[in-house]
Chain A
Amino acid sequence: MNRLRSLLLPLSGLALALMASAPAAALDFGRKVNGADDLLSADQAFKLVSAIRSADGIHLNWAIEPGYYLYRQRFHVEPVVVGEGAGAAALAALKLPKGESKHDEHFGDVEIYKTQVEAVLPLARGAAAPTQLKVRWQGCAEAGVCYPPVTRVVDVIAAP
């Protein structure tokens, strides 16, 4: 029994060390042992996870990885396929929530989003909605690297 115990205790310590180190790696987006940081691609860091049409408009949701942020001022949406009467929707401004304030030495006071953001493209009551949108966004890693603007064409899905 003592021998078994002597084998299990180091294993237990190893397990605890793994538990302690793995979350740190997750929160620190993959900091390597040598101190260099792995950088996610823009598509990994910022994911447009849904574009859903509901009664009040088209809701666009982004998931943002820890350590990365999107600029509020750098979202742009335009329709690709426009249904009948959806012209007004094309002109409506994208509604974005208030972001976290950030003072940028070059761009002044800006707002950014971390973790997630939902934008809404308002639709007039009864108006046909675009079935596809061309969406652009741009962001940076807090580690000091910025990504070129990303443009994607997304299908708009009706809310269930």
Chain B
Amino acid sequence: MSTKNTLLIAAACAVAVAAGAGIYLLRPGAGAGGGAGDSPVIGAQPAAPNEAVPAGIQLTDLDGKAYTLDDFKGKLVIVNFWATWCTPCLHEIPVLSAMQTRYGAKGFQLVGPAVDDLEEVKRAAPGLKFTYPVAVGEPEDMLDLMSKLGNDQGGLPFSVVIGPDGKVLERQLGEYSEVELVALIEKHLPK
């Protein structure tokens, strides 16, 4: 191989590396605050070991009755944020309701805070046939609550799984499947 050929190969490699790096750096989400390491991830993410739920989370149900997450201490809890404008949320709710029916007596509790206007929630709730309490409030307050529980960018559905000991087990951005929920619940139900 001639020196000229070697130089050509080296130059082609350099261009290819630069092009690859450029495309990678220019991909959506790259850059300040949007890199792969910073972006929320779709799917289940385990919580840090012994991560406690923030204290003093107050909720209000559709009838205006106040309750807190502490009311469910000792149970396996899934807090599932949803909204009427969110198709994957509406698709997931019947599966969640079935889980509440199936495992409620065994120490499982779902809670459904709505990131939505109260009137929209009241209009939609009867048709969704919830088997668990919905929580309502100003959408901005619900976004704040969701942020406190680990979702800063507001994507829905979003679930936080809390063990019977009050520690966060995992977070899920996007829908759970029925198979995933059964496995998760049966693994963590109170003994």
Flag if A143 contacts B174 (CB, 8 Å): yes
**Residue of B26, B87, B88, B154 most packed against chain A (CB within 10 A):** B87
Q: Which of A102-153 contact B (CB under 8 A)?
A: 104-107, 138, 140-141, 143-149
Residue B155 at the chain A interface, CB threshold 8 Å: yes
Q: Which of B50-96 contact A (CB under 8 A)?
A: 83, 85-91
In the docked arrangement, what's the CA distance between A66 and B27, Å? Answer: 10
* B40: nearest chain-A partner, CB-CB: A39
In the complex, how many angstroms separate the beta carbon of A103 from the nearest chain B beta carbon? 11
Flag if B91 contacts A105 (CB, 8 Å): yes
* Set of chain B residues within 8 Å of A144, measured between Cβ atoms: 42, 88, 174-175
* A45: nearest chain-B partner, CB-CB: B28
Q: Which of A11-51 contact B (CB under 8 A)?
A: 11-12, 14-16, 18-19, 21-23, 25-26, 29-30, 32, 35-42, 44-45
Flag if B42 contacts A146 (CB, 8 Å): no
Flag if A148 contacts B83 (CB, 8 Å): yes
Residue B23 at the chain A interface, CB threshold 8 Å: yes
* B16: nearest chain-A partner, CB-CB: A15
Query: How many residues of chain B have a CB within 8 Å of chain A?
Result: 44
* A2: nearest chain-B partner, CB-CB: B1
Flag if B27 contacts A25 (CB, 8 Å): yes
Select the stretch in B7-15, B102-110, B163-171, B178-186 that faces chain A. B7-15
* B115: nearest chain-A partner, CB-CB: A148
Query: How many residues of chain A have a CB within 8 Å of chain B?
Result: 47
In the docked arrangement, what's the CA distance between A30 and B31, Å? Answer: 13
Residue B36 at the chain A interface, CB threshold 8 Å: yes
In the docked arrangement, what's the CA distance between A50 and B88, Å? Answer: 30
Flag if A18 contacts B83 (CB, 8 Å): no
Residue A95 at the chain B interface, CB threshold 8 Å: no
In the complex, how many angstroms separate the beta carbon of B113 from the nearest chain A beta carbon? 13
Q: A148 and B154 in contact (CB under 8 A), knowing A30-B39, A38-B36?
A: yes
A interface residue numbers (CB < 8 A to B): 1, 4-5, 8, 11-12, 14-16, 18-19, 21-23, 25-26, 29-30, 32, 35-42, 44-45, 65-67, 74, 104-107, 138, 140-141, 143-149
Given contacts A29-B28, A148-B139, 4 further A-B contacts (CB under 8 A): A12-B16, A25-B24, A105-B87, A146-B155
